[in-house]
Amino acid sequence: MADLTQVVVESYPLCDLCPDHQPNEARYDGKTKDGPWGYMCKKHFKEYGVGLGMGRGQELILSEKAKKDALLE
């Protein structure tokens, strides 16, 4: 069975819980303790996330192509 705790992305979205004036990149897509799902930075995932796995959440991993592209910028 596949490990469902990580998903590869081309870029990190912004955290749905950070204030607009201080946005952080999200490293997780997961369910919150209040029920709704959202993108969360490390701080907010630790505070509001319910963990990793099916029905809980996934860690966002930057693709190798995106990593290489970032080095070229």
Residue 31 lies in a domain: yes
Residue 73, pLDDT above cutoff 80: no
As for how many domains the chain has, the answer is 1
- How distant, in Å, are the alpha carbons of 4, 21, 39, 44 from that of 32? 17, 22, 10, 9
pLDDT for res 14? 97
* Domain, as residue range, for 50: 6-72
Residue 58 lies in a domain: yes
Query: Binning pLDDT at 50, 70 and 90, where does residue 71 land?
Result: low
User: How crowded is residue 65: how many other Cβ atoms within 10 Å of its Cβ?
Assistant: 10
Residue 1 lies in a domain: no
Q: Can you give the pTM of this predicted structure?
A: 0.85
pLDDT for res 67? 72
pLDDT tens track for 3-55 = 789 999 999 999 999 999 999 999 999 999 999 999 999 999 999 999 999 99
Strands 57-62 and 28-31, by their bridges, are: antiparallel
Residue 1, pLDDT above cutoff 60: no
